[in-house]
Structure 1
């Protein structure tokens, strides 16, 4: 923020008044005041643009398709000889499949919903981030598990719940020792402090650490319908700050918060080994365009809890004022949680932007982590297979397979390469016990 540097469209840095991807809209004096109080901080486009960009992701996909047709016709269209080009490549003679993963997958789904000009012929996505409009007219059930009626929560609702309770749940006896890298990424002492802080706030019950951690895990599984299959993977996600980073970024985006607002006393900066903020080396800053995934912590930029007891500190190492304990800055995480519940007493402002991203309808490689590679298979393999199946449907009129659970086989030994036995194909005619069906207003997923 001090230098007012920003990334050009090609990713290089500039402090000049020219076209850039994003620059915080502060005057020189406002920026100087901010930097004097909060030095070495970063403004992040997704979090701090005040544009709530997710609301227009579907539109942006449609615009990219229109641009694609423009470029194709400029290159391959028929020249008329008078400086004009006859448009020969059109949606009527060209197959378009909207396809991506995660945020891109959600963008593709939303684009298909908003496609009034029939630009898109098919959709093939994996793990789409879609916030559906709440429909209480149906329920969901996996196998013989509980009926889930309170579904369709927002991404922010789920991630803030994980940010608050998962740090304690990591110490539950049912997963503590079996979850891959749990002890490496999640120090038990911090987990115990989180459990104690939650208990003191009445957010978990139990007299012992085991009881409190078990209750936190129960809360996530029962109250938020986090499936038990995720329990062993969730600790490594918490250790990598997945839910925490999404909660911080999206709360700012949905609230259209400016960088100087420091929503929930959180900001972005590089930190040292003790958790104190420090300048990001110039070389690392120059590499952010290529090295960052867009949601801190990433590429050397971390989430800093400015309201931590003592001094601004890396969130994971923060001491909460309410507990005077290093409990992963639980006070800040609870603030983000309150925003997801539209009950923040500090800002008094609900996140109107969250409703703007609701959807109307929802039409790989080897992982080297011990304990992960031997339990899980790459979902990306099936994303590519789905893309091929959609192409075959559009091109050759091949029927799409019914919705189903694919019975994969983890390879067990981390040194064993994946084979076709581990990754069976999506079945064109699955057994009845593998089919995902909608019966009597209930989405039924096999165990």
Structure 2
């Protein structure tokens, strides 16, 4: 099926002939509302969230502006010490048009949102289409800080997909979801980004990534290819006198970060006929069957063991690993005691127990560097959040049938499940990350009445990986469906990953993937960037940015080299030296700290 998706167009027929989609919404963005920052500029993107003139019923324009701002702030370090806009990157004014639709891959229950940003200065002499997928579970603008910030100033059109994730939350309480323009609409009033099967108000809130019934991660590569086809078709529409735009006359560059990086690598494995001109993947969540470890495996492991391991003296100086007086966070010694009571640890003191947990994770492939950075992820309880959501996606569960008793609901004033107010609900599309909790939505369930209440749910989620019952077998089968395939021999590829990544450690993701490619005769460039970690946006946290460098400048650098290779006949670098990066320290980032060649 995917051979057809990746084939070259030879006639005047639109590339969209292979894409199932409905209405295309076309909007103009000029003056105080451009493509890259919605008129906010760098200072506005970094500022507090833009308030809505009417919080109960924000306009489509206001929602778009805040969605763009939220996506920037979630990916890039826009702080005063981070160097964005002065040392690397930039947010120029880019006027143009947007084309947006709900597309559907064959057999999918839910659509994926696709978007083309077409700058007025699109270079028709150097036809370029950048295609990307959202990071994490974010909405359609989730990769704008990478693909948009690089591609639009280069005169490229930029095609986006939410890859079957996104913040088009459906609320059973009022039977509403998100329409194409980002505003709330009732079931039956308009096509919705996500519309699950009908149910009573008590079903709570349904999230497309978790509750579509599609296991969207298995189709991320198809989503990327279809977004590129949508982009080509919209270029045909914008410039009919120069149509058709095809992979033969328009270079398609695929780039993404985190889950988006994994998506473009999945897409690369489906390309056999020269659909892509090159691929740049940053810190990809990539899985290779029988190589490395799947995210669900090490996330459920981390949820159980890291709270105890991070109480070890080796992490005493790590930000987020200690409380204000240097003691371990209160819940973490309790986790050590729980593991000791289960017989998984034998130490009689916290020092002994935490060191044993640390050594257990060492034996499983974790490094101290990855664990140190993962202290932030652990303190924010992200392992449990990720595992609960992904388990539901892999098992194709509905909102009321999530594994281990988990469910999403609005948070009432007393912290219990409740009903969202109109203003909170209206802002979800702009503000949501695509994987609650957050923005007035809580993750409930998976706890018991004990001193360590979350361990119950953590162990239930872990058993779906380590067990052998029918549910565990079904989850393993779904994870196997997400495995990347081998890309074509001549595809220029650059994979970049932070050596300090604690969410997607390189030992479990990029390194097994790159090793697999090299064993099969491929020659990807791989940069394991010293002192870079997963969340550039976290670099503004006190004490955190001191230890790290951002990863985005290295992604821009790789894309610049790919551009020079494709358009200026520069040779593709065979093995460029890995940057000698240095921690930022307490001051501002400098070019010497980045160590770019």
Distance 1:171 1:407 in 2: 31
Correspondence list, 1:48-67, <5 A: 48-67=211-230
- Report deviation, 1:24: 2.4
- Contact 1:133–1:360, Cα closer than 8 Å, also in 2: no
Distance 1:282 1:62 in 2: 36
- Structure 1 residue matching 2:592: 3-state secondary structure: coil
Q: Which residue of 2 aligns with 1:279?
A: 419
- Report deviation, 1:128: 0.9
Distance 1:380 1:343 in 2: 41
Correspondence list, 1:25-424, <5 A: 25-27=197-199, 31-32=200-201, 35=202, 41-78=204-241, 87-135=243-291, 152-175=292-315, 177-184=316-323, 188-223=329-364, 225-271=365-411, 275-305=415-445, 308-309=447-448, 319=449, 324-325=450-451, 327-343=452-468, 349-361=474-486, 362=513, 364=536, 367-395=539-567, 396-402=569-575, 404-413=577-586, 416-424=587-595
- Structure 1 residue matching 2:181: 3-state secondary structure: coil
Deviations 1:374-421 (A, max 9, x none): 1101011111111112222222232225165422111211xx211111
- Contact 2:377–2:383, Cα closer than 8 Å, also in 1: yes
Distance 2:331 2:538 in 1: 31
- Report deviation, 1:221: 2.4
Deviations 1:14-38 (A, max 9, x none): 22313111122134xxx25xx1xx6
Distance 2:414 2:298 in 1: 30
- Structure 1 residue matching 2:347: 3-state secondary structure: coil
TM-score by length of 2: 0.59
Distance 2:370 2:274 in 1: 38
- Contact 1:156–1:250, Cα closer than 8 Å, also in 2: yes
- Contact 1:367–1:373, Cα closer than 8 Å, also in 2: yes
- Report deviation, 1:276: 3.1
Deviations 1:242-272 (A, max 9, x none): 2222211111111111212131111112446
TM-score by length of 1: 0.78
Deviations 1:92-124 (A, max 9, x none): 222111001011111111111101342101001
- Contact 1:338–1:344, Cα closer than 8 Å, also in 2: no
Distance 1:286 1:258 in 2: 23
Gaps of 5+ in 2: 1-171, 487-512, 518-535
Which stretch of the first structure deviates more once superposed, 345-354 or 212-221? 345-354
Distance 1:302 1:90 in 2: 45
Distance 2:438 2:191 in 1: 24
Distance 2:308 2:550 in 1: 28
Distance 2:321 2:415 in 1: 20
- Report deviation, 1:54: 0.9
CA RMSD of aligned residues (A): 2.4
Distance 2:455 2:352 in 1: 19
- Contact 1:170–1:235, Cα closer than 8 Å, also in 2: yes
Distance 1:338 1:404 in 2: 42
Distance 2:237 2:331 in 1: 59
Bigger Rg, structure 1 or 2 = 1
Matched residues, number:
375
Is 1:12 paired with 2:183?
Answer: yes
Gaps of 5+ in 1: 79-85, 136-151, 310-318, 428-447
- Report deviation, 1:222: 2.1
- Contact 1:181–1:370, Cα closer than 8 Å, also in 2: no
